[in-house]
Chains A and B, each alone.
Chain A
Amino acid sequence: MWEDLQTCVFDAPFVVIAVAQEGRGAEQARPWIERVRPSYPCLIDDEHRVSALYGMVNVPQCVWIDERGVIVRPPETAGSTDHFRRMDLETRTLAPELAAEREVSRTAYFDAVRAWVRTGRHALPGDAARARLPVITAAMAMAEALFRLGLHLRRAGQGAEAAEHFAEASRLHPESWCIFRDAQQLEPSGFAGGAAFWERVRALGDKPYYPPPVL
C-alpha cells in the first residue's frame, strides 16, 4: 500500500519513510520488506525510537511532515480500521462486506495523503496540529526507559528479566500496543496475535484499537 503511494506521479517531491518498530531487529523485519521490495526507505528501529520521539502507541501510525520539516499532521492511524475485531478467528478472514468497508476507509486515507502532496490539503495549521499532539506523561517516559532496558536485556539473552521490565512498562503505559506487541513471545508463524492479544483487544470494550483519523 505504501508502494502505491510512493509510485504515484506527483509534481512535488514526496517520500514515504516506513520505520519498522521491531525490537528483534532487521531479521524479523526482513521477510516483510523483501516481499514488498519497496522503492522508499524502509528503516529498522529496534529500540522503537520513533515511537518514543513522536508519542506513537500502535502500528501503523503516520506523521505528515512538510518540506520544512514541520509536522502538519501528528501521529494518527494510517488507514487501518477496527474491522479486524470482527474477524473469524478460525479462518482469520473478514466477511466480504466488512472487508469492503475497511477498504473504503483505507482508500480515503491514502487519497487524503495524495491530496496533501498535490495541493497541501489536509495539512493542519500550527494550533490545530498542536491540539492533536499526544501528551507524554512521566509514567510514559518511565515506560519508555523500562521498555528500552527490556529490549537490551532480551538481545543479551536475559529474556526472563526483560519480561519483568516489559510488564512494568506495559503497566505504566497501557495505551501502548507497541510495547505490548514487542514484548510478546512469537509463535512459529512469526506472529504473536495469540490469546493474550485478543484478550487485551476485547478489554478495550467500546474504545477503538485504531482511532480513526479526522480528515
Chain B
Amino acid sequence: MAGQGIMAVVLSETGTHAVPSDGGLRLAPEDAARVTGWTLKPEGMCREELCVPLDGAMLAGGRVDVAAFWRQLGHPVASDRAGETWVLGAEAEARNVALAGLEAPDFALPDLGGTMHRLSDYRGQKVLLTTWASW
C-alpha cells in the first residue's frame, strides 16, 4: 500500500522545489530529475555521460528514493524532523574541483529592489566580490 503522500520542499543546487513525496523523499522520476539534475534511465540515474545504477530499494513503485540516491553519491542530505523539508547539498569535492579551475563560480542574487544580478554579467570588468553582514 502506498505511503501517505505529502508535499515536500526540496532545496537543492537547482533551486527550491515543492514536490509530491511518498515520504522519505520518494519522488516520481520527473520530480527526481527536477530536484537533482539527474534523469532516470534504464541504466539508473544519469547526468551527462555518467549513470549510477539504482538498487531495488532506491527504485520501487515507480518512485526514486532521492535521499538514498544522493547519499549513495556521497552528497550531504539534511531534513527536518517531519521529513517535509529536505536539503540535497553540494558535494565537497565538487566545490573543490570548481574552485581549483579558478573560474569564479557564478551566481544570481537580487538587489534591494529585487533586480537579479548575475556575476557573469560583469565579465569584462575586474570584480571585487566582497561579503558583509549587518553585524
Contact = CB atoms under 8 A, between A and B. Distances in A.
A145 B133 contact: no
Interface in B78-93: 78-81, 85-93
Interface residues of A, number: 82
B1 interface: no
Interface string A61-103: 1111111111100100010000000000000000000000000
Interface residues of B, number: 51
A12 B124 CA distance: 10
A141 B135 contact: no
A193 B75 CA distance: 34
A7 B41 CA distance: 54
Contacts of B91: 141
Given A136-B99, A142-B89, 17 more contacts: A12-B125, A12-B126, A13-B124, A15-B127, A16-B127, A19-B132, A20-B133, A34-B112, A49-B109, A53-B95, A54-B129, A65-B129, A70-B102, A117-B126, A141-B89, A142-B76, A144-B90
Interface of B: 9, 11, 16, 74-81, 85-93, 95-96, 98-100, 102-105, 107, 109-112, 117, 119-120, 122-135
